[in-house]
Amino acid sequence: MAAEVEETNGVTEGNPLSEMSYEEKLVFASVIAKPMASEKLTKRLGKLMKKAKNKGLLACGVKDSVKQIVKKKSNGILVIAGDVSPIDTVSHLPLICEGHQVPYCYVPSRFDLGCNNAANTNSVCVFIRKDESYEKLFDKCYKVVDDLPLPIH
């Protein structure tokens, strides 16, 4: 019998990461997880993900995100989980983003992405596309993510 997980207010109970602070989650982030979103930006991106999910403009997972960036040339923000293992799963995404001038950032945990995009599973990355219903919030997040310092190659 599978253990049932209750969901309340977008936070899944029973997951140890839900009780951790932002700083505690950073301990589990990989060394390549740069640029890392601040705690405030992480919360703001969470709100943006929920709005994009309701409009159907959120691409979840590596395959869908790469398709939006490369094939459809969509304008948006890529948010990558910082605690992905193995790292090779997402290590190519920053290069794709830089090649297509798409801003990207990391958040401390997969759990944050899963809860924020209203999915029952943890996501490795999500691509947020723009819509006029949340244009102000999107533009604010886009500017902050675009201004984050990129790691030196």
Find the range with the poorest average confidence among 14-28, 67-81, 89-103.
Answer: 14-28
The reply to whether 69 falls in a domain is yes
Confidence of residue 77 (pLDDT cuts 50, 70, 90): very high
Q: What is the pLDDT of residue 18?
A: 73
Q: Looking up tokens 């140890």, which residue turns up? A: 16
Residue 61 in any domain: the answer is: yes
Write the burial class of residue 39 (CB in 10 Å: 0-12 exposed, 13-18 middle, 19+ buried): middle
Total domain count, the chain? 1
Contact criterion met (CB below 8 Å) for 108 and 22? yes
Asked if residue 67 is part of any domain, the answer here is yes
**Structural domain span for residue 127:** 35-147
Residue 126 confidence class, pLDDT cut points 50, 70, 90 = very high
| pLDDT computed for residue 7 by the predictor | 42
Q: State the CB neighbour count (10 A cutoff) for residue 50.
A: 16
Residues above pLDDT 70, as percent of the chain? 83
- 97 lies in some domain: yes
Residue-averaged pLDDT of the chain: 86
| Cβ neighbours for 137, distance < 8 A, ≥ 6 positions apart | 44, 47, 48, 51
